Structure 1
Amino acid sequence: MAKTTRMGSGGMGRMPIGKDPAAVRARVEAMEKVLERGFTIPGTKQTFGLDVMLDLIPGIGTTVAAGMGLYMTWEARNLGMSKTAIARMAGNVGVDWALGLIPWVGAIPDFFFRSNTRNLKIIKRHLDKHHPSTVTITPR
């Protein structure tokens, strides 16, 4: 069982700490949600996250978002994922970063190219194959 730490009173509850695969899965899923699906456009089912919001700050915002995205790549490296998978993940973050460098307009393609969601799928595929005990059923 993973140790947990309190993540403030904002409703996030407890975030697991540790290097075990279940804790890593929980952290990268939480990071992806914050970056890609944290908010919903009222009256629609369309979601967006901090990644798109940071793109509205020219130059600095997209770099901060890329740094947060690279955190997921770092977690993948700690899981012992292949260099090919890590390179793909870094490439996803790089494309997202490059799209976001276009001031103001860069938020639009970033709204559709969700590098962190793509990277989460890569990590989950690895965890499902190599650490099947971490598989969780996700409600739709």
Structure 2
Amino acid sequence: MNGTNGQDNLRRMTASLPTGTDPLSVRQRIEGLERLLEGLFEVPLIGRRVGLDAIVGLVPGIGDAVTAAMGLYLVWEARNLGMSRLQVWRMIGNVGIDALVGAVPVAGDLFDFMYRSNSKNLKIIRRHLDKHHPHTRIIEG
């Protein structure tokens, strides 16, 4: 892993995050947080991106609790967007599965590497935003 590249990515992401409560600002914040948690670095040889969720999850005990709290921030943003209770509970379930299974020594660390609860939750939020706030849609090239 190239540490300097990851630090540069982190600086760029945090410098550009908006603080507003409008749907576009929320979209930008949650997409930045998802990149931080799930895709900050690329693992050489296998070409898979990992983020703080998999890395901090290696710390016994507290790692999974910290990343679960960060994942719950996405749920909080979803609730503030007015998403349905079903969607919010589904997102809580994704974070819960990640935290519970991720807390199992060794096997949980592999699970954290493969199961991307924050990416799943971002997909749920994006669907909501695309339907109810289409002006926030960002065309990726």
TM-score, normalised to structure 2, is 0.89
**Retained in 2: the 8 A contact 1:32–1:117?**
yes
**What's the counterpart of residue 99 of structure 2?**
97
Aligned residues: 131
Identity, in percent, stands at 51
Q: Larger deviation: 52-61 or 20-29? A: 52-61
**What's the counterpart of residue 139 of structure 2?**
137
Question: How many Å apart are 1:32 and its aligned residue?
Answer: 0.3
Q: Deviations over 1:19-54 (max 9, x none)?
A: 100000000000000000001012342111100011
Which amino acid letter does the alignment assign opposite residue 104 of structure 2? I
Question: How many Å apart are 1:105 and its aligned residue?
Answer: 2.8
**What's the counterpart of residue 11 of structure 2?**
10
Which amino acid letter does the alignment assign opposite residue 118 of structure 2? N
**Retained in 2: the 8 A contact 1:55–1:104?**
no
Tell me the secondary structure at the aligned position of residue 136 of structure 1.
Answer: coil
Shift >2 Å, 4+ stretches = 9-13
Instruction: Tell me which protein shows more helix as a share of its residues.
Output: 2
5+ residue gaps, structure 2:
1-9
Q: Distance in 1 between matches of 2:12 and 2:118?
A: 22
Which amino acid letter does the alignment assign opposite residue 125 of structure 1? R
**Retained in 2: the 8 A contact 1:33–1:49?**
yes
Tell me the secondary structure at the aligned position of residue 109 of structure 1.
Answer: helix
**What's the counterpart of residue 117 of structure 1?**
119
**What's the counterpart of residue 87 of structure 1?**
89
Tell me the secondary structure at the aligned position of residue 40 of structure 1.
Answer: strand
TM-score, normalised to structure 1, is 0.89
Instruction: Tell me which protein shows more strand as a share of its residues.
Output: 1
Question: How many Å apart are 1:106 and its aligned residue?
Answer: 1.0
**Retained in 2: the 8 A contact 1:59–1:103?**
no
Which amino acid letter does the alignment assign opposite residue 105 of structure 1? A
Report 1:64-83 matches (<5 A).
Answer: 64-83=66-85
Which amino acid letter does the alignment assign opposite residue 25 of structure 2? A
Q: Larger deviation: 21-30 or 52-61? A: 52-61
Q: Distance in 1 between matches of 2:34 and 2:19?
A: 17
